[in-house]
Amino acid sequence: MSVTASPRREELLERAYHYALDHGVADISLRPLAAAVDSSPRVLLFLFGSKAGLVQALLARARRDELELLDRARSAGAGGRDLAAVAAELWNWLAAEEHRGLLKLWVEGYARSLIDAGGGPWAGFARATVADWLELLGELTEDTTERTLILAVLRGALLDLLATGDVDRVSAAVERQLDRLRPAPAMSERSRNAVRRATAADAADIGRLLHDFNTEYDDLTPGPERLSDRMKTLLDGGDTVVLLGGPGPDGLAVMRFRPAIWAEALECYLAELYVVPDRRGHGLGRALMNAAIELAREAGAAWMDLGTSEADVAARALYESLGFSNREGKPDGPINYFYEREL
């Protein structure tokens, strides 16, 4: 039977569509549907040709909502937003409570089209849905694998959400997966080892690093807040300089300057050198030391001295590679010792 478009057909399709959002379409019965939309089975058959024609029209109507969603996502992506950001916006729409009926209808149509792949009103619905989504994602990335991965994440999460209703758990999982898809900003080893001179505004980071330093080596510490306050005072005094390294920052060198006795110059004492554990072995300590040596020279210091533990083999190797010696006068001279006591 041929089907002719008409205002009455569109009106009844909208009513039937809202009915299907609540009741599904797989086992739809014309009599209760007709009663719900203020019509009759005979009129529905006349306007849609057959029950299969009605189901096909309902699936097409559902796909229209899907395409409207994808068009909104397409507009958002046109603003230069990255693929993961658009996917996150899509998920927010999918997770909204008011869309559950439509999503259940999508899943129902998707599943039935896999079972009834040979023909009927369901034929091609799943394939067309996949193609629609991949086309949208393809406008944001040419990487077919990445597009497929995002679609799989959203589709799998949607099935879980519809089965359990656990929005918080499923949304957290989606967000974690999308975070993995977001490209990390490229950072070279050189930029990760960038060193800068600290100011009083960095006191909180300095206090944190000094506190972590003492805590790691089981030394007493007054806590990061008090260390922060103390370092503000020392920095304002002018004879203390702190260098910070890495984006964290992830390390520091604390330098103290004093007038020399035997020359009209300054002496520089390296009071502290610290790098957080996961940044060791990547050159940050060396970058801090090179910057400290250069700054001391520019400040007019004639030499630099420091102290370290015999057990700290890595630190000793670093210092010695930079020309520091624990021998007096010459390479085979007497060993220098460092003494201290509490007063």
pLDDT of residue 82: 67
User: Tell me, what's the pLDDT at 322?
Assistant: 86
Question: pLDDT: is 36 or 236 the higher one?
Answer: 236
Name the pLDDT band for 20 (thresholds 50, 70, 90): confident
- 29 vs 276, more confident: 276
Residue 274 has pLDDT above 50, yes or no: yes
pLDDT at 78: 47
- How far apart, in Å, are the Cα atoms of 74 and each of 20, 199, 217? 27, 46, 54
CATH of domain 7-181: 1.10.357.10
What pTM, to 2 d.p., does this model score? 0.48
326 vs 57, which has greater pLDDT? 326
Distance, CA of 220 to CA of 164 (rounded, Å)? 51
Structure confidence at residue 93 (pLDDT): 77
Q: Give the pLDDT confidence of 315-329 residue by residue, as tens digits.
A: 888 888 888 988 887
For residues 316 and 330, the model is more confident at 316
> Higher confidence at residue 40 or residue 272?
272
The domain ranges of the chain are: 7-181, 189-321
CATH 3.40.50.300 fits 189-321, yes or no: no
User: How much is the pLDDT for 244?
Assistant: 96
For the ranges 128-132, 225-229, 291-295, the lowest mean pLDDT is seen at 128-132
pLDDT tens, position by position, 168-211: 888 888 888 887 776 665 556 677 889 999 999 999 999 999 99
Contacts 24+ apart (CB under 8 A), 93-98: 93/69, 94/154, 94/157, 94/158, 94/161, 95/161, 95/167, 95/170, 95/171
Predicted confidence at residue 52, as pLDDT, reads 72
Q: Which of 294, 296, 302, 245 has the alpha carbon at shortest distance from 273?
A: 245
